[in-house]
Amino acid sequence: MKQYGMVIDLEKCIGCHACAIACKAEWEVPADQGRNWLKRLGPAHTPHGLASTYYPGLCNHCDKPACVEACPADLEEKTFKDPVSGKKKTMEVAATWKDPFDGTVQIDKDRCLGCGACADACPYEARYVNPELGEDGKADKCTFCVERRAAGLEPACVQTCLAGARIFGDLNDPKSPVAKYVKKGAIKMESAAVKIGPNVRYFGNKRDIHLLTETSTPRVMPEASLRRVMIARMVRPVIREVKKKLSIFDMS
């Protein structure tokens, strides 16, 4: 199984924001929102010296994504297919899920309710609700440009990066450039309370990594998230029942 991920090399990143804007153009993101973002950090003191770096952030496509758990949309069976082995796997998913074969977290906007539970649940604030889509808005976030990749293209942010600071690939493939970066010490932005297995990693010198993690690592899981997840868990069986009844109704 693959786990797609991205490494951001802060030694190379010069903080130009091209990633954030290319993504906006590619995916028609509203001007005041972002699927990815860049924040300038410092200059500030660190134990390793004065530092100034950037937080280029995006969806972490986590191992245990809080957003997927929080989605209250009704569950549906969905069959996934591994493009390599042809293996199939059927799972019950809400309007957002973690792909069992490539590890990316995706959204079915047709089924998204636009409630924003997923956005509230993400400790990295990587999701937003695009109010321009549908009647009630639709959740949106980085997809690792799955559609571009299907068309044989690089993710938009990777393509535009003049520094070559964004490296995309399969973290489970030890020969991939991203896995090599992990071996060299690329870090996850995790804390004691937020340990959901982010798959975006950051590489840099000690002082920059210190500044990044001190200022930008989430320290708490969003409270709303826990509440929403509990509600979702309670509501789901009910929805399933309703759906069953509805389908009987529709057939008759």
Q: Which residues bind other proteins (CB under 8 A)?
A: 11-12, 14-18, 20-22, 24-28, 31-32, 34, 38, 42-45, 50-53, 73-74, 80-83, 99, 101-102, 104, 106, 108-113, 133-134, 138, 143, 146-148, 150-151, 153, 156, 159-164, 208, 235, 239, 242-243, 246
Give the residue with the Cβ less far from other proteins, 3 or 194.
Answer: 3
The rounded distance, in Å, linking the Cα atoms of 199 and 187 is 10
Is the preceding omega at residue 174 within 30 degrees of 0, hence cis?
no
Write down the residue that tokens 């320290």 correspond to: 219
Residue 43 CB, shortest distance to other proteins, in Å, is: 3
Comparing CB distances to other proteins, the nearer of 51 and 221 is 51
Which residues, at least 6 apart from 7, have a Cβ–Cβ distance to it below 8 Å?
Answer: 166, 167, 177, 178, 181, 182, 186, 200, 201, 202, 203
CA 96 to chain centre: 11
Beta strand pairing status for 105-107 and 96-98?
antiparallel
Cα 19 from Cα 214, distance rounded (Å): 23
- State the CB neighbour count (10 A cutoff) for residue 217: 17
Query: What are the tokens at 228?
Result: 């929403």
Q: Which is nearer to other proteins, 230 or 242 (CB)?
A: 242
Number of neighbours of residue 3 by Cβ within 10 angstroms = 21
For residue 193, the minimal CB distance to other proteins (Å) is 25
3-state DSSP helix/strand/coil % of the chain, to nearest 5: 30, 25, 45
Output the six-digit token pair for 87.
Answer: 């293996």
Shortest distance (Å) from residue 60 CB to other proteins: 17
**Amino acid making up residue 29:** V
Pairing mode, if any, of strands 76-81 and 88-93? antiparallel
Give the shortest CB-151-to-other proteins separation in angstroms.
Answer: 5
